[in-house]
Chain A
Amino acid sequence: KAGVTQTPRYLIKTRGQQVTLSCSPISGHRSVSWYQQTPGQGLQFLFEYFSETQRNKGNFPGRFSGRQFSNSRSEMNVSTLELGDSALYLCASSLGSGEYQETQYFGPGTRLLVL
């Protein structure tokens, strides 16, 4: 079974621009979560989608948004980029069985650099 895939792997943008990152979950997985990893803040939860609906959201500004499609693929968007948005963005998928306690499997991440 193929793992979680994320595109692009690397991205360079300038302040004020917007960016869209894509994630394809493991086949059969219906829940997709997004995380941001920075040296200062570690791994932080952005949001989670299931059945095209956002079920949970972390403490990030409204510039960070996402969506999920009917095939469970997900995208996240960051508008009006700031220097502090430079980070590794990770997507994780899980079965979406309805239980809270599921194992999440991560993709390789997208490294975003904002200049």
Chain B
Amino acid sequence: DQQVKQNSPSLSVQEGRISILNCDYTNSMFDYFLWYKKYPAEGPTFLISISSIKDKNEDGRFTVFLNKSAKHLSLHIVPSQPGDSAVYFCAKVGTSYGKLTFGQGTILTVHP
């Protein structure tokens, strides 16, 4: 029962353009969603979060959109930079202490 799905294993973008990373989830009313960036052999770095009561949250170059009717969220990175190249994970917290459920991750490559 995979509750969080990232259907695109990889994404390649030109520097300066927009990167859009997508995530689908199974039904839940009270979820809290987070995006993390990860380099190999390192821990995930928190980027941005969104509560299920919101549609959008913005932090600098990062914006997360939540479409509750479609059970879909997306992370927009504008403008993309080569340093953004990493694996991006979406994750959700439900009504369960301390448990993040992660998607499979999307490898983002930003070309100079």
Interface centre among A42, A43, A111 (most CB of B within 10 A): A43
- Contact indicator per residue, chain B 8-52, by CB within 8 Å of chain A (1) or not (0): 000000000000000000000011101010000111111001010
Number of A-B contacts (CB under 8 A): 77
Q: Which residue of B lies closest to A6 (CB)?
A: B43
| In the bound complex, CA of A55 to CA of B96 (Å) | 9
Q: Which residue of A lies closest to B6 (CB)?
A: A42
Q: Report which A residues bind B (CB closer than 8 A).
A: 4, 6, 31-33, 35, 42-45, 47-50, 55-56, 58, 88, 90, 92, 94, 100-109, 111
- Asked whether B46 lies within 8 Å of A43 as measured between CB atoms, the reply is no
| In the bound complex, CA of A6 to CA of B42 (Å) | 11
A74 to chain B, nearest CB (A): 11
Interface centre among B34, B43, B101, B102 (most CB of A within 10 A): B43
- Asked whether A31 lies within 8 Å of B97 as measured between CB atoms, the reply is yes
A60 to chain B, nearest CB (A): 12
From DSSP, what is the main secondary structure of chain A's interface residues? strand
- Asked whether A50 lies within 8 Å of B41 as measured between CB atoms, the reply is no
| In the bound complex, CA of A48 to CA of B41 (Å) | 22
B32 to chain A, nearest CB (A): 3
**A100 with B95: in contact, given A42-B102, A90-B44, A109-B41 (CB under 8 Å)?**
yes
| In the bound complex, CA of A58 to CA of B95 (Å) | 14
Q: Report which B residues bind A (CB closer than 8 A).
A: 30-32, 34, 36, 41-46, 49, 51, 89, 91, 93-105
- Asked whether A106 lies within 8 Å of B99 as measured between CB atoms, the reply is no
Point out the residue from B34, B43, B97, B99 that lies within 8 Å of A109, measured CB to CB.
Answer: B43
**A100 with B93: in contact, given A33-B98, A43-B102, A58-B99 (CB under 8 Å)?**
yes
Q: Which residue of A lies closest to B48 (CB)?
A: A103
Other A-B pairs, 17, CB within 8 Å; known A47-B98, A48-B98: A6-B43, A35-B100, A42-B103, A43-B91, A43-B102, A49-B98, A55-B98, A56-B97, A56-B99, A100-B93, A100-B94, A101-B32, A101-B51, A101-B93, A106-B43, A109-B42, A111-B41
